[in-house]
Amino acid sequence: MKRRLLIIIVIIFAFNLVTPTQQQKSNNSDIQIQKAWARPAAKYANSAFYFVLENNSSRTDTLLGAETKISEEAEIHESYKKDNDRMGMRPAGKIAIKPKSKFEFKPGGFHVMLLGVEKDLHIGDKIEVVLRLKYAGKIKAQAEVRDMPMTKEMKQ
**111-138 pLDDT tens trace:** 999 999 999 999 999 999 999 999 999 9
Which residues fall within 8 angstroms of residue 32, CB to CB, at 6 or more apart? 53, 54, 56
The pLDDT, as a whole number, for residue 84 is 83
Query: Would you tell me which CATH number, out of the four given (3.40.50.2030, 3.40.50.150, 2.60.40.1890, 2.40.50.90), belongs to the domain 2-147?
Result: 2.60.40.1890
Q: What phi and psi values does residue 119 have, to the nearest 5 degrees?
A: -155, 160
Overall pTM surpassing 0.85 (yes/no): no
Q: Are strands 137-145 and 31-38 parallel, antiparallel or unpaired?
A: parallel
Which residues fall within 8 angstroms of residue 95, CB to CB, at 6 or more apart? 62, 63, 76, 103, 110
Asked if 64 and 105 count as a contact pair (C-beta separation under 8 A), the reply is no
